[in-house]
Amino acid sequence: MKKEIILVLGPQGSGKSTQAKLLADYLDYKFISTGELVRRESKNGTELAKKIQFYQLKGELVPDDIIEKMLFDEMNKSEHFGFLIDGFPRNKNQLKDFLEFLKINDYSLVKVFYLDVSLNECLNRIKLRREIENRPDESEEAVKKRLDIYFSETAPLLEAYKDLGVLVRIDGERTIEEIQDELQDIMNEYLEEVRRNNYE
Ligand code: AMP
Burial class from Cβ neighbours inside 10 Å (0-12, 13-18, 19+) for residue 140 reads exposed
pLDDT at 134: 74
Say what the pTM is: 0.92
pLDDT value of residue 126: 86
Q: Give pLDDT tens digits for 28-38.
A: 999 999 999 99
pLDDT of residue 93: 98
C-alpha distances in Å from residue 96, one per residue of 59, 64, 92, 150, 174: 23, 11, 6, 17, 32
Nearest CA to ligand 1 atom 7: 35
- Which residue has its alpha carbon closest to ligand 1 atom 12? 56
Q: Which residues of the chain have pLDDT under 50?
A: none
Whether 10 lines ligand 1, by a CB cut-off of 6 Å, is: no
Q: What per-residue confidence (pLDDT) applies to 127?
A: 84
Residues near 66 by beta carbon (within 8 Å), at least 6 away in sequence: 48, 51, 52
Q: What is the CA radius of gyration of the chain?
A: 17
Q: Are 111 and 1 in contact (CB under 8 A)?
A: no
pLDDT per residue as tens digits for the range 56-85: 888 899 999 999 999 999 999 999 999 999
Q: Are 149 and 60 in contact (CB under 8 A)?
A: yes
